[in-house]
Amino acid sequence: MTQVILGQVLNGIIVGTLYGIIALGVTLTFGITGIVNFALGQFMMIGAYAAWHLTDVAHLPYPLSVALAVLIAGLAGFLSDRALFQFTRNNLVNGLLVSIGLISVIESAALLLYTATPKNMDFVLSGSWTLGAITISRMKVVTFAVLLGVIALTWLALANTWLGRATRAYAQNPEAAMLMGVKTEILQVGVSVYSCALAGIGGALYAGIYSLEPSMGALFILKGVEAAILAGVGNLAGALVGGIILGITESIGALFLPTAFRDAYGLVFLVAILLFRPSGLFGGQK
């Protein structure tokens, strides 16, 4: 039983990094634009389908397909920001309504292009590694390592570069940042596009492990928002931790409780944490 639990913990950590990359996008977007972009899950779906199409249909090497999928997701984010989200800056309700409408548009387009039939990518990295009695897919390990690296580099850039300092300054005091010469409009667009690109890389790596369907984005944005709230919205490193905690909670919960309620385990855990720490596990920390 111990080996089974350890295996589920490892799987939960890997899935949790996918939640964490969405949570990071949610945190960045909310901190700079003042909206919660619920369509980030759909940009993850765009990245996933783009990677699948470029690899299995266009027969491009998978690493190149991932890079192009991230660019496609970022471009889609730029177009949506220019067409829609620039008019909802710092308006939580309007931004929420626009993002919900965008979910329907993107999902309908995916259904039109690819139908509801699940898509499965050919193995891009076969085989597994064995740790004692635990066997884990190599592709899952690579996915975890890449996403962990992306999140770490994002945190380091925000902590140690001029652009990162400008971003944090704007999140804390927009007026003071503008007076200090921060080009706020460019910053807001850049953060929106980068958040969509983060979702895109999560989706592109997801495509190498799991089957794809147009409705996949709805689940991941829910998990991403849960992870961001669990950590405390505004804490970038906490977004990863929140995602991993959520992934482990679901994986372990599925061992002892009905799998039909798997998606509820994270919500129950989130509510329990917020009862004692209303600002999240790392609320107030930067």
pLDDT in tens, 132-178: 667 788 888 899 999 999 988 998 888 888 888 888 888 778 888 78
| Segments making up each domain of the chain, as ranges | 8-120+194-276
Which range (21-30, 48-57, 235-244) has the least confidence?
235-244
pLDDT at 136: 82
SS3 129: strand
pLDDT in tens, 120-133: 887 777 777 777 66
In whole angstroms, how far apart are CA 181 and each of 163, 169, 186, 246, 281?
Answer: 12, 11, 12, 39, 34
Query: What does the block give as tokens for 59?
Result: 């027969």
Q: What Rg, from alpha-carbon coordinates, does the chain have?
A: 19
Predicted confidence (pLDDT) at residue 286 exceeds the cutoff of 60: no
Other C-beta atoms lying within 10 Å of the C-beta of residue 83: 11
* DSSP secondary structure string for all residues of 170-222: HHH-HHHHHHTT--HHHHHHHHHHHHHHHHHHHHHHHTTTS-B-TTHHHHHHH
Query: What does the block give as tokens for 81?
Result: 């920001």
The answer to whether 280 touches 27, Cβ cutoff 8 Å, is: no
Residue pointed to by tokens 């704007």: 170
In 3D, which of 275, 277, 244 has the Cα closest to residue 24?
A: 244
Name the DSSP letter for residue 134.
Answer: E
SS3 64: helix
pLDDT at 59: 92
What b/e string do you get for 121-136 counting C-beta neighbours within 10 Å, with b at 16 or more? beebeeeeeeeeebeb
- Within 13 Å and on the Cβ side, how many CA atoms surround 153? 8
Q: Where are the beta strands (DSSP E) in 11-138?
A: 128-131, 134-137
pLDDT at 83: 92
pLDDT at 203: 95
What is the SS3 assignment for 90-113?
A: CCHHHHHHHHHHHHHHHHHHHHHH
Measure the CA–CA gap between 103 and 191, rounded to whole angstroms.
Answer: 19
Measure the CA–CA gap between 1 and 19, rounded to whole angstroms.
Answer: 26
pLDDT in tens, 177-227: 787 777 888 889 999 999 999 999 999 999 998 899 999 998 899 889 888
